[in-house]
């Protein structure tokens, strides 16, 4: 878990570098400004695993000796880390689901052989909870595995809607200029509109990255919850095994009940919490770009800038307006 969280901070650093002007002095200043926090990130990754040490060493080398090439590759580098994070969360969730299923199946196969009522009742309580966890964990595993693809499709759909509206507006403005100036003001108007479209395309890219980071936050939340319940499931399995191996004496039965109930207490909220995670993932996908504060602000700014461009286009039309055409058989008023 510590490796995952440090790696997310690594991605944030890569994102900063990717957006920066390719300047070696800038990188040096940024690294100095990060100070102990930056070193903690690197140390955390290095100390987690040997693989983490390789990642940390490579990143530190490139970051402190930044070149234009590294700045250009930073986005690709961070994307690679994000993919590794996603795969790690999916694998952790799959491991948890297997742990729950094995514990559940073992209990289903043996509970019928328990003759002591105290032991049977507490084991049945555990079985009921495990059944509920198993159903939700399996669904959550599928949801998390597919969230990247589904979210990207949603983002692309929302972006296409925004771009369609912007393209329609652009065409309408250029058609007006063409008609009013007989083509004379089109080039100047195109420059204005193209600059606006390109700039806001870049802004939308940044908003998409914000949504990606929200996905990372969701996956980290899943990872935290799964780690907690994976350990709790293992503890419950140990108590169940101990209970099944114990005698049917009154004392053993009470110890069995207390042990299983104690372990089960750490899993009682698991079904609800897993359902909440499923709902959060579905909401993230459903919202897509439209759920991003970045997009809301960007579209508000775009609306204001479109008005500004329209005013400038009116000026272009006024400066290039074609002379009125007269019927060859009709003289202008006052020309006689």
What is the model's pLDDT at position 324? Answer: 64
CA 10-12-17 angle, 5° bins: 95
CA 32-35-39 angle, 5° bins: 120
What is the model's pLDDT at position 44? Answer: 43
CA distance 182 to 217: 54
Task: Identify whether the C-beta of residue 85 lies closer than 8 Å to the C-beta of residue 216.
Answer: yes
Mean pLDDT by 10 residues, the chain (336 residues): 45 44 38 41 42 48 49 59 81 92 94 91 95 94 91 89 92 93 91 93 86 86 91 94 86 92 95 95 88 86 94 92 61 50
Specify if 150 maps to a domain.
Answer: yes
How far does the chain reach from its first CA to its final CA, in angstroms? Answer: 92
CA distance 251 to 272: 33
Number of helical (H) and strand (E) elements in the chain, helices listed first: 9, 0
Specify if 66 maps to a domain.
Answer: no
Other C-beta atoms within 10 Å of 190: how many? 14
Paired tokens of 310: 């329209």
Specify if 38 maps to a domain.
Answer: no
Q: Give residue 179's domain range.
A: 85-320
Paired tokens of 113: 């052989």
Q: Kindly state the DSSP code that residue 249 receives in the 8-state scheme.
A: S
Paired tokens of 287: 């919202």
Specify if 22 maps to a domain.
Answer: no
What is the model's pLDDT at position 208? Answer: 86
Specify if 240 maps to a domain.
Answer: yes
Specify if 137 maps to a domain.
Answer: yes
CA distance 40 to 293: 30
What DSSP assignment string belongs to 23-54? -HHHHHHHHHHHHHHHHHHHHHHHHH-HHHHH
Model-level pTM greater than 0.95?
A: no
Task: Identify whether the C-beta of residue 315 lies closer than 8 Å to the C-beta of residue 237.
Answer: no
Domain count, the chain: 1
What is the model's pLDDT at position 36? Answer: 42
What is the model's pLDDT at position 35? Answer: 42
Specify if 185 maps to a domain.
Answer: yes
Specify if 80 maps to a domain.
Answer: no
What are the start-end ranges of the H helices in 182-292?
A: 186-245, 250-264, 270-287
């Amino acid at each position: 878990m510590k490796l995952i969280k440090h790696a997310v901070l690594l991605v944030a650093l890569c994102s900063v570098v990717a957006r920066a002007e390719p300047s070696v002095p800038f990188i040096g200043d940024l690294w100095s400004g990060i100070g102990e926090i930056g070193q903690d990130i690197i140390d955390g990754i290095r100390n987690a695993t040997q693989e983490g040490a390789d990642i940390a060493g490579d990143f530190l080398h490139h970051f402190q000796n930044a070149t234009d090439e590294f700045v250009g590759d930073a986005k690709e580098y961070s994307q690679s880390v994000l993919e590794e994070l996603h795969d790690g969360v999916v694998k952790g969730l799959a491991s948890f689901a297997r742990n729950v299923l094995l514990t559940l199946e073992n209990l289903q196969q043996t509970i019928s052989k328990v003759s002591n009522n105290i032991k049977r009742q507490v084991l049945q309580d555990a079985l009921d909870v495990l059944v509920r966890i198993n159903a939700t964990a399996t669904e959550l595993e599928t949801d998390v595995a597919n969230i990247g693809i589904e979210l990207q499709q949603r983002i692309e759909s929302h972006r296409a809607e925004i771009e369609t509206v912007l393209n329609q507006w652009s065409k309408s403005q250029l058609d007006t200029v063409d008609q009013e100036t007989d083509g004379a003001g089109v080039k100047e108007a195109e420059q204005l509109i193209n600059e606006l479209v390109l700039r806001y395309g870049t802004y939308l890219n940044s908003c998409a990255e914000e949504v990606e980071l929200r996905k990372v936050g969701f996956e980290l939340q899943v990872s935290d919850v799964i780690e907690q319940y994976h350990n709790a499931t293992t503890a419950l399995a140990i108590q169940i095994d101990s209970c099944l191996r114990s005698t049917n004496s009154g004392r053993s039965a009470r110890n069995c009940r207390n042990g299983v109930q104690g372990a089960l207490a750490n899993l009682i909220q698991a079904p609800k919490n897993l359902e909440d995670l499923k709902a959060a993932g579905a909401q993230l996908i459903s919202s897509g770009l439209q759920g991003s504060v970045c997009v809301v602000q960007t579209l508000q700014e775009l609306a204001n800038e479109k008005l500004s461009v329209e005013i400038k286009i009116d000026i272009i039309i006024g400066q290039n307006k074609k002379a009125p055409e007269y019927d060859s058989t009709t003289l202008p008023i006052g020309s006689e």
